[in-house]
């Protein structure tokens, strides 16, 4: 588990799995609509987790061969079950560590990485390892969030403080919850070419009830609620402040509320 953030890893418990599924289905159009790979191409999905993105990759690229890997055996097993359950035949699964994958150098046409770099202490090394596996002219697609991009109405300082606990915990564990804004410099530092980063803002108001439920409540606020005990135990915040912050996040889901969050999607060439 080299470079892995050991204290805060998505994909391992039931609630987290449900959250990742919600997150994926709500955001499919925003994040995936422009990703499809040509027939016959070999595509590595690095850090597939429980398969929340795998299903979209498989659907959008029916004639590509997707190889989805993860370091967590239970996540790989769950992803496999999920994909087999919906009958896709274009995905194979492997247990593997991004830093030490069993592929020949320059053997893959494309690589896809989503919500993984934010958890790694050495994202540059991860990108470098992945680059070695890509054929010249192959592409890498990276999607990450950035918690610093969160703003909402009504604004609420305590809600920002609760969110900041997540940023701080992830930092203490070696990750970076604000990594979205760094995709260009990271890919550039590793020597990728033609880097194009596009911010993908999720804008939610009460005219979009599916996003209010699927994103503001069940994805973002559920994620922050999930770090309540850890944040209090770590002395980052007291109970009341945290709970008032969560109330502030829920307040944005009322009729006059608005919630915004920006993901960053980068596509670059070797
Ligand atoms: C937040 S989950 C994202 C899963 C999936 N990409 C998604 O978007 O739903 C991060 C995943 O990265 C995996 N991971 C972390 N470090 C890894 C490494 N060194 N090699 C392979 N997978 C890794 C974790 O096991 C976890 O499943």
Say what the pLDDT of residue 176 is. Answer: 97
- Ligand 1 center–CA 117 separation, angstroms: 8
Q: How many CB atoms lie within 10 A of CB 110?
A: 23
Q: What is the pLDDT of residue 29?
A: 82
Question: If you measure from the C-alpha of residue 198 to the centroid of ligand 1, how many angstroms do you get, rounded to a whole number?
Answer: 22
Atom of ligand 1 nearest to the CA of 99: 19
Residue 66 phi, psi (nearest 5): -95, 130
Which CA distances in Å does 2 have to 121, 122, 125, 245?
9, 9, 11, 34
Ligand 1 lined by 225 (C-beta under 6 Å):
no
Two structure tokens written together for 78: 């769950």
DSSP 258: E
11 CA → ligand 1 middle, Å: 7
CA of 160 to the centre of ligand 1 (A): 26
Are 112 and 64 contacting, i.e. CB atoms less than 8 angstroms apart? Answer: no
**pLDDT above 50: residue 7:** no
What's the token pair of residue 7?
């204290």
Residue whose CA is at the smallest distance from ligand 1 atom 14: 47
Question: Cα 194 to chain center, whole Å?
Answer: 22
Q: Is residue 193 predicted with pLDDT exceeding 70?
A: yes
Residues contacting 224, CB < 8 A, separation 6+: 162, 163, 165, 166, 245, 246, 249
Kindly state if the Cβ of 20 falls inside 6 Å of ligand 1. Answer: yes
Confidence (pLDDT) at 4: 46
**Nearest one of 80, 49, 248 to 162, comparing CA atoms:** 248
pLDDT digits (tens, 9 = 90+) for 249-269: 999 999 999 999 999 999 999
Q: How far apart are CA 77 and CA 197, in angstroms?
A: 32
Burial class (CB in 10 A: 0-12, 13-18, 19+), 66: buried
Which residues, including other chains, have CB under 8 Å from residue 202's CB and lie 6 or more apart?
27, 30, 211, 215, 259, 260, 261, 262, 263
Q: What is the pLDDT of residues 51-106, one digit of tens each?
A: 989 999 999 999 999 999 999 999 999 999 999 999 999 999 999 999 999 999 99
pLDDT at 78: 95
Mutate to test the pocket of ligand 1, among 5, 57, 68, 70 (most ligand atoms within 8 A of CB): 70
* Dihedral of alpha carbons 87, 88, 94, 96, sign: negative
What is the separation, in whole angstroms, between the first and last Cα of the chain? 26
Q: Residue 9: what pLDDT?
A: 47
CA of 93 to the centre of ligand 1 (A): 13
- CB 71 near ligand 1, within 6 Å: yes
Q: Residues 16-57: pLDDT tens digits?
A: 655 565 555 667 888 998 999 999 999 999 999 999 899 999
Give 103: exposed, middle or buried? Use CB within 10 Å, 0-12, 13-18, 19+: middle
The pLDDT value given to residue 33 = 86
**pLDDT band per the 50, 70, 90 thresholds, residue 221:** very high
Residue 8 pLDDT > 50? no
Cβ–Cβ under 8 Å, residues 141 and 265:
yes
Please report the atom of ligand 1 found closest to the CA of residue 126: 19
> Best substitution site from 112, 116, 122, 130 to test ligand 1's pocket, by max atoms within 8 Å of Cβ?
116
Pocket flag, ligand 1, residue 130 (CB < 6 Å): no
What does the pLDDT look like over 109-164, one tens digit per residue? Answer: 999 999 999 999 999 999 999 999 999 999 999 999 999 999 999 999 999 999 99
123 CA distance to ligand 1 centroid (A)? 12
């Amino acid at each position: 588990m080299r470079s892995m953030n050991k204290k805060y890893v998505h994909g391992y418990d039931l609630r987290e799995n449900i959250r990742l599924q919600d997150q994926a289905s709500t955001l499919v159009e925003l994040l995936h609509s422009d990703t499809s790979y040509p027939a016959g191409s070999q595509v590595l999905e690095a850090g597939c987790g429980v398969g929340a993105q795998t299903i979209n990759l498989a659907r959008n690229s029916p004639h590509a061969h997707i190889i989805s890997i993860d370091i967590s055996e239970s996540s790989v097993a769950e992803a496999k079950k999920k994909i087999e359950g919906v009958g896709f035949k274009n995905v194979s699964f492997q247990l593997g560590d991004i830093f030490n994958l069993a592929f020949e150098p320059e053997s893959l046409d494309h690589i896809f990485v989503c919500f993984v770099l934010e958890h790694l202490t050495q994202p540059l090394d991860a990108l470098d390892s992945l680059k070695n596996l890509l054929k010249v002219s192959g592409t890498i697609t990276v999607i990450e969030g950035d918690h610093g991009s969160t703003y909402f109405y009504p604004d609420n300082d305590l809600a920002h403080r609760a969110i900041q606990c997540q940023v701080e915990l992830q930092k203490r564990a070696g990750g970076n919850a604000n990594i979205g804004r760094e995709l260009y410099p990271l890919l550039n530092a590793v020597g990728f070419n033609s880097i194009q980063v596009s911010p993908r803002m999720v804008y939610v108001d009460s005219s979009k009830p599916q996003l209010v439920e699927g994103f503001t409540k069940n994805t973002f606020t559920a994620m922050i609620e999930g770090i309540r005990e850890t944040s209090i135990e770590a002395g980052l915040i007291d109970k009341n402040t945290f709970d008032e912050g969560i109330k502030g996040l829920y307040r944005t889901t009322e009729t006059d509320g608005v919630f915004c969050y920006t993901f960053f999607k980068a596509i670059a060439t070797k």
